[in-house]
Amino acid sequence: MSVAVDWYVGLSAVLFSIGAAGVLLRRNALVVLLSIEIMLNAGNLALVAFSRTHAQHDGQVFAIVVMAIAASEVVVGLGIVVALSHMRRELDTDELAELHG
């Protein structure tokens, strides 16, 4: 037992920020989805680390729930991407701006 929980949480923070950077900077819908996956995983890592710290199972349970929800999100997200691809050539999020005010 040598690596303190601080390191895991710190890693989680860094991964989360990288994921956020991907969401904010990339315009390819697929890469945005991938970046979101990174962010979710960062959150999961924090949950699991704290679960270990307190020797409780609650955090792990939530991590599993997050995985299920992430899988659902990927299914729907990719479904939307595929449906969009039938309508237009490019999948650039900046081009998908029909809902502007």
Chain positions 44 to 73 lying near other proteins, rule: CB under 8 A, are 44-45, 48-49, 51-55, 57-58, 60-61, 63-65, 67-73
Place of tokens 């990339």: 26
| Total number of residues that touch other proteins (CB under 8 A) | 83
Bridge partners (DSSP) of residue 92 are 28
Does position 43 interact with other proteins (CB under 8 A)? The reply is no
Question: Which run of H or of E encompasses 12?
Answer: helix 5-25
For other proteins, the binding residues in 70-99 under the rule CB under 8 A are 70-76, 78-83, 85-86, 89-99
Q: In 3D, which of 39, 37, 48, 47 has the Cα closest to residue 70? A: 37
CB 56 → other proteins: shortest distance, Å? 8
